[in-house]
Structure 1
Amino acid sequence: MSDTDIILVAHGGGEGAEPWVQALAERLPQFRVQSLQGPFDPARVRYAVAWKHPPGSLVGLDNLQAIFSLGAGVDHLVSDPDLPDVPIIRVVDPDLTSRMSEWVLLHVLAHHRQARLYDWHQAEKLWEDDPHQPAAHEVRVGVMGLGVLGSDAARKLDMIGFDVAGWSRTPKVLDTIDTYAGAAELDAFLARTEILVVLLPLTPDTRGILNHALFANLARHSYFGGPILLNAGRGGLQDEAGILEALEDGTLRAATLDVFETEPLPQDSPLWHHPAVTVTPHNAAISSTDAVAAFIAGEIEHLEAGGAPRHGVDRGRAY
């Protein structure tokens, strides 16, 4: 067995480790890159690259320097009670950020310009216009979560002309965008929001936060006939029974969901065929393997040159 230092790819998702092994090996030839499945000397593992890894699978890597998440979220890592005590580094990649903002803009605009209604009109051969269609500046969009992804989405919504505000756990400043922070300002943020875009991390404090009680605090009077929810953060943020209840009793007008409590979304979930729900398969911010591998390679080279970890995760906050 080679005594070359190892980058270990611990991938438990559907696509498997092999594309990541190949992409990282091309960029970091000084390392041996391999998956958990192959034989390796644990003492040679310097870096781990993980996505939904089997809990406990990174135990015993005594020379591990850092763990990279293969996505913007890190809840799959911090939920492992046996995770080694080394820096966790999350992906901060312009490609991933842009793709998330594309998804947000697409679905905010689809609700704003009533795309599903006009799809139905076309199917029924109805030539009907709505003379009361509001302009973007008349629609209040709230972005919940102002990290890299949320801030970018908020700025791009603002550029289109929507009346945008943001909420985050701690105070953030965004030029031209009103911001709210903490539990004390959450209700005020919700009360002015007609379309709620959620890009929060999943933490003990945010688990289940998207529930009927929260939806009841959203702006009640809007052109749409009720508030609209878009969630591309994490499935654990949402109470899906609460979403369905809110849709049925009018507390919510519609929902577009990219993430779910159980993934893939079970075949018997009523969300699949609900007339007010749009489902996308957790692909809002799917980034290219090449782009993410290039980011990770650059961060490893930075660490190897003696640099301090960048884009590190606070384990206590889980982001």
Structure 2
Amino acid sequence: MTFLYKADPGRGRQWARLFAEKAPDIPFRLWPDAGDPSSVRYLAAWQPPDDPVRAFPNLEVVFSVGAGIDQFDLSRVPEHVAVVRMIEPGIIEGMVEYVTQAVLTIHRDLFDYALQQQQRVWHERPPRAAATRRIGVLGLGMLGTTVLERLRLFNFPCAGWSRSPRALDGIECYVGSETLDTFLARTDILISLLPLTPETRGLLDRQLFAKLPQGASFVSVGRGPQVNQQDLLDALDSGPLHSAILDVTDPEPLPASHPLWTHPRVRITPHIASTTRPDTAVDVVLDNLRRHREGLPMLGLIDRKLGY
């Protein structure tokens, strides 16, 4: 019943230490030292081997070490093998911190003050009450829901949009493509936390940005291929967008010559908004192993039809 880890080796060594402390009865191995392939029942990976079941014929569960599974080729993972995305406190806390910082950067006019600083201009801008700055989150999974709950505490009017119906206390919930335009029209800071699926690839384009109010801003923390980057630049230069904070791009990293790097109203970070913490991740994985053994539903088990 071997557990095999195939991702960042440094973090893998931390996982190995934590498994030894908390689950010494479970054999733990680090890729590429898989030991007997037939004994591997569980695989934690950023990207599994090309043909995981051929490599490990008795594989039962594949765990993603990240919150998404779009980097997986699910066609190579048979239906009888469960695929579980990572839902753990470290990922959630990191995303809440990042998005809160991004929203407050925009809300407190720090883009404008940065430009003033470059020009050595000391000029106070009129403050705007949080209650007049409307937040909208695309994607109401665990991350989107928690982000909205935190931003509510600042008195921002908060709304979320999702494919499936949701009901959240104190948050306007929009569902389905027929409500998307209405959701966008009431959103001053748009935050994308959507999973990457065929439906969301390229969704954030010229037409979508045009439906935001003049002076709106954009925070991208989902996946880079969801954004048409030329349309984003056009929306910043001649459309409704005032500023954008991007933690994801396509490709990653962007080419050195890409204009997003030097745009005065764009801030780019290298996909660091939220990362898995080994200590909390191992606790979640061990709980899921217990659930799997007891025939209970695992936390983060994906729906293959939806792709997340």
**TM-score scaled by length of structure 1:** 0.89
The answer to whether 1:203 aligns with 2:177 is no
What does residue range 1-319 of structure 1 map to in structure 2 within 5 Å? 5-11=1-7, 17-77=12-72, 79-85=73-79, 86-122=81-117, 124-131=119-126, 133-220=127-214, 226-319=215-308
Distance across 2 between alignment mates of 1:10 and 1:16: 10
Distance across 1 between alignment mates of 2:297 and 2:219: 36
How far apart are 1:249 and its partner, in Å?
A: 1.7
How far apart are 1:130 and its partner, in Å?
A: 1.6
Q: Which segment drifts farther, 38-47 or 301-310?
A: 301-310
Asked if 2 retains the 8 angstrom alpha-carbon contact of 1:56 and 1:80, the reply is no
Aligned-partner SS, 2:137: strand
Q: 1:171 to 1:137 in 2, by over 3 A?
A: same
Q: 1:53 to 1:22 in 2, by over 3 A?
A: farther
Q: 1:89 to 1:175 in 2, by over 3 A?
A: same
Letter of the aligned partner of 1:94 in structure 2? P
The answer for the alignment partner of 1:223 in structure 2 is none
State the identity %.
37
Q: Deviations over 1:47-66 (max 9, x none)?
A: 11011334334534222221
How far apart are 1:294 and its partner, in Å?
A: 1.8
How far apart are 1:297 and its partner, in Å?
A: 1.7
Asked if 2 retains the 8 angstrom alpha-carbon contact of 1:299 and 1:310, the reply is yes
Letter of the aligned partner of 2:171 in structure 1? I
Please report the RMSD computed on the Cα atoms of aligned residues, expressed in angstroms. 2.0
Moved >6 Å (runs of 4+): none
Aligned-partner SS, 2:195: coil
Structure 2 unmatched ranges of 5 or more = none
Asked if 2 retains the 8 angstrom alpha-carbon contact of 1:56 and 1:81, the reply is no
Q: 1:59 to 1:268 in 2, by over 3 A?
A: farther
Q: 1:99 to 1:39 in 2, by over 3 A?
A: closer
Distance across 2 between alignment mates of 1:202 and 1:52: 16
Q: Deviations over 1:77-125 (max 9, x none)?
A: 2x34212331111222122112101111101010010123333444555
How far apart are 1:245 and its partner, in Å?
A: 2.0
Q: 1:16 to 1:102 in 2, by over 3 A?
A: closer
Distance across 2 between alignment mates of 1:33 and 1:42: 13
Asked if 2 retains the 8 angstrom alpha-carbon contact of 1:59 and 1:82, the reply is no
Distance across 2 between alignment mates of 1:7 and 1:228: 44
Distance across 2 between alignment mates of 1:257 and 1:30: 43
Q: 1:23 to 1:76 in 2, by over 3 A?
A: farther
